[in-house]
Amino acid sequence: MTSSLPQPISPLRLYRGPLLLLVLIILLPLLTLLAHGRYGYLLPLAQLCGIYAIIVTGLTLLMGFTGQVSLGHAGFYALGAYTAAVAATRCSAPLWLAILLALCAGALVSFLTGYSLLRLTGHYLALATLCLGIIIYGLINNLEITGAAAGLTDLPQWKVFGLLPGHPLAKVYFIWGIVLLVILWAVHLSESPVGRALRAIHGDEVAAASLGVNTFATKLKVFVISGVLAALAGVLYAFVYADSYLGPEEFNLMFSVQLLIMVVIGGLGSVWGGLAGAVVLTGMHELITLVGEKCGSTDMAKYEQLIFGLILVLIVIFSRDGLIPGVRRGLARLMQPRRC
């Protein structure tokens, strides 16, 4: 035999990413404690990063793997947050019921929209889902039951295991625990026949169908799963991150675009790309402000758009397939012995 028989990915390679993430999740937030709370303001930011990472992981499977572009996931995110909040405040539903309702709403709406929209492809699908996001934003921003532009107040807090209720650090651990589970699931899926089918659909839907892949059902399943993940992120936003107040400004059109950028800058092909995109984009603002303060400038924020645009341009020029593949290539080049 000339070359050896190929083997499935080893558990070590499969789980080293999630293990590294677990270590980072445990250690990084603790650093803020060591710094005597000086960087305590970073904890809410870490929560927000985690919430976005959940949506983006679902979107990475939908867009990066399956190749179906959605600009409507801010809508499912809003749907999750508002269903949970309305159920808990207006209907005085217990917390678990509100959460369950929110997830069901996410599943139902994503199923109905996916069922009708996934017959479209490419730009048409992107535009149709964009409309979905606009409709949902329009509703929450105008309906009386969602408090319109004023939003909802007196939201209950999801007490994290009853421990340290409301402490930012506990919230970080809770949210990132969920992120870890979602990532683990996505890693499993990507290294399975299902992940292969998703990438096959992305590559050539006609060929995939000729090989017995049920392309429509598969696309619909991924769409619904990503919709439910967005709704879950919405619930976490309403009950964990938000301090008893929920307003519509978080869910506007720009956020859908931001989600798209998060998916794309990290690198479309991998789960880790999405996670990196979410963290980088969310952390960018704070990082820029921080660097500005260190350099003695107080209004660094006004250069934020500029710096952000520059980074996007650099990524497009030097690493068109995203941040993670680019970093990987760079590392590989460094490791290679120089030729003389």
Partner 1 sequence: MADCLRIDAASKHFGGLKAVDQVSFTIQEGALAALIGPNGAGKTTLFNLIAGAMPLTSGTITCYGKTVREPRNACRMGIARTFQNVRLFHELTVLENVMVGMSGAGFLAASLRWPGQVQAERLRMKRAYYLLERVGLEDLSAARAGEIPFGQQRLLEIARALALEPKLLLLDEPAAGLNRTETGALATLIRRIHQGNITILLVEHDMNLVMRLVEQVIVLDGGKKIAEGTPDAVRNNAAVCAAYLGG
Closest approach of Cβ 187 to partner 1, in Å? 9
> Residue 134: is it exposed, middle or buried by C-beta count within 10 angstroms (0-12/13-18/19+)?
middle
Contact window for partner 1 (CB under 8 A) among 6-14, 132-140, 171-179, 289-297: 6-14
State CA 329 to chain mean position distance. 24
Among 72, 269, 273, 277, which residue sits at the site for partner 1 (rule: CB under 8 A)? Answer: 269
Closest approach of Cβ 95 to partner 1, in Å? 26
Residue 332 binds to partner 1 (criterion: CB under 8 A)? no
Residue whose tokens read 């069901």: 104
Count, residues in the chain: 340
Q: How far apart are CA 48 and CA 25, in angstroms?
A: 14
- Identify the three-state secondary structure at position 146: coil
Residue 336 binds to partner 1 (criterion: CB under 8 A)? no
Count residues near partner 1 (CB under 8 A). 32
- Cβ neighbours for 61, distance < 8 A, ≥ 6 positions apart: 186, 189, 190, 198, 222, 225, 226, 271
Nearer to partner 1, 62 or 74 (CB): 62
Closest approach of Cβ 193 to partner 1, in Å? 3
Nearer to partner 1, 15 or 308 (CB): 15
Among 132, 160, 200, 236, which residue sits at the site for partner 1 (rule: CB under 8 A)? Answer: 200
Residue 107 binds to partner 1 (criterion: CB under 8 A)? no
Nearer to partner 1, 208 or 300 (CB): 208
User: Using N-to-C axis directions, what is the helix angle for 215-236 and 95-117, rounded to 10°?
Assistant: 150
Nearer to partner 1, 142 or 192 (CB): 192
Residue whose tokens read 């209720």: 165
